[in-house]
Amino acid sequence: MIINPSSRVSLKTTSNPLLLEKAQWNLTGLFMHDAFILDFIRKIRDHVNVSPFKWVHGAPLSYIWNGGRVDPEFQITRKALDKILDAYQSLDTGCMLTFSNRFISKHDLDDPDCNYLLNRLNGAAPKKNGVIVASDVLADYIRTTYPNLHLMASIIKVTCEKGEGDLLYYKSLESAFDSYVLDVNDNVNYPLLENLDRSNVEILVNSSCVYHCPHKAEHYDLLVKMHDKKNGVTMDTVLEYQKKNCTAYPVGRQLGKTRNHCLTMTELHTLYDMGFRHFKLQGRYTTSLIGILHDICHYVFENEQIGPQVFHSFI
């Protein structure tokens, strides 16, 4: 067999280890997978010489303002919180709190644990850290009390207020918040996207939810109701709801049947070429480290050489 020399495998690595050189990523896992994420950031800096994430997002699962995954029995000491926040600060990585419970009232604003976290993060450089919110009551309180924090409107707010496809609604968020998360149904709504301020938009790239799910807002609300035992909502309630109504979970329900919101490479590159730079990797349903690592390697890193190398270095 004669081999054409020009077809030989190149032994050079790619010049840019990141898939999108100027993208700024917001990674899930704060207060849940911190040991892994901190080790990952350090090793990637040492071996690949890049800082992969602008922010990590999350919240203690039992904190009343938390609107992501909820676990009323979750416990963490302030000493442990301080150690985690200091570690991210030492790596120049911002922390974004998912305080996206949209049912926050004025009576909830004096919560000592939530305010402790905000006060800690507010002491850093302006807009280095931030909060993702769905409640206007909480947003107003943070603007006044913790002005150094970056204020982001949650996808929960956008979805529950039926902002999908509404240019005027998104424009109102541009004026009221530092940034907002786009409804995933609008991720490839290119005529709409053309009219949005690129600096304000964060795009969620790995949502496993199916397109135009009619239960999404109710599903969000059901999760946060677990905070108050008087609601009678438990994880069993949530799982039974999913079993009855959800066409996305477990994922086997959608295999080969329907398209979910995980962006294709073509779609991601199209958004980047349009000038969008802020992207989010969520973990609401991707709780395993393998799943999170897969999405990092698939979306953040050049995925022919560097992505596979990173993946096999950490599994």
Helices (H), the chain: 34-48, 78-90, 112-122, 136-145, 155-160, 167-176, 190-193, 216-224, 235-245, 265-273, 289-299, 306-314
| Residue 24 · residue 18 · CB < 8 Å | no
36/140 Cα distance (integer angstroms): 34
- Identify any residues that bridge with 281 across adjacent strands, giving them in sequence order: 27
| Residue 85 · residue 121 · CB < 8 Å | yes
Give the Cβ contact number of residue 77 at 10 Å: 8
Q: How many independent structural domains does the chain possess?
A: 1
Flag whether 43 is in a domain: yes
Flag whether 152 is in a domain: yes
Flag whether 245 is in a domain: no
Q: Which residues, at least 6 apart from 149, have a Cβ–Cβ distance to it below 8 Å?
A: 118, 121, 122, 127, 129, 130, 131, 142
The model's pLDDT over 32-60, given as tens digits with 9 standing for 90+, comes to 999 999 999 999 999 989 999 999 999 99
37/42 Cα distance (integer angstroms): 9
Of 137, 129, 272, the closest CA to residue 201 belongs to: 272
112/118 Cα distance (integer angstroms): 10
Flag whether 178 is in a domain: yes
The model's pLDDT over 185-217, given as tens digits with 9 standing for 90+, comes to 999 999 999 999 999 999 999 988 877 777 777
Please name the amino acid found at residue 130: G
The answer to whether the bond into 250 is cis (omega within 30° of 0) is: yes
| Residue 164 · residue 140 · CB < 8 Å | no
Q: What is the pLDDT of residue 257?
A: 65
Of 251, 239, 182, 156, the closest CA to residue 210 belongs to: 251
Q: What is the pLDDT of residue 9?
A: 44
Both tokens assigned to 28: 């899930």
10/258 Cα distance (integer angstroms): 39
Q: What is the pLDDT of residue 309?
A: 93
Flag whether 26 is in a domain: yes
Give the Cβ contact number of residue 78 at 10 Å: 12
pTM of the predicted protein model: 0.90
Q: Which domain holds residue 201?
A: 20-209+260-314
Confidence band of 298 (pLDDT split at 50, 70, 90): very high
20/50 Cα distance (integer angstroms): 12
Q: Are strands 201-204 and 150-153 parallel, antiparallel or unpaired?
A: unpaired
- CATH, residue 84: 3.20.20
Q: Which residues, at least 6 apart from 60, have a Cβ–Cβ distance to it below 8 Å?
A: 31, 66, 74, 76, 81, 113, 117
Q: Is residue 6 over pLDDT 60?
A: no
Flag whether 244 is in a domain: no
The model's pLDDT over 62-113, given as tens digits with 9 standing for 90+, comes to 999 998 777 878 899 999 999 999 999 999 999 999 999 999 999 999 999 9
Give the Cβ contact number of residue 63 at 10 Å: 22
- DSSP assignment string, 113-153: HHHHHHHHHHTSSTTSSEEEE--HHHHHHHHHH-TTSEEEE
The model's pLDDT over 110-156, given as tens digits with 9 standing for 90+, comes to 999 999 999 999 999 999 999 999 999 999 999 999 999 999 999 99
Q: Is residue 5 over pLDDT 60?
A: no
Flag whether 145 is in a domain: yes
77/69 Cα distance (integer angstroms): 19
Flag whether 247 is in a domain: no
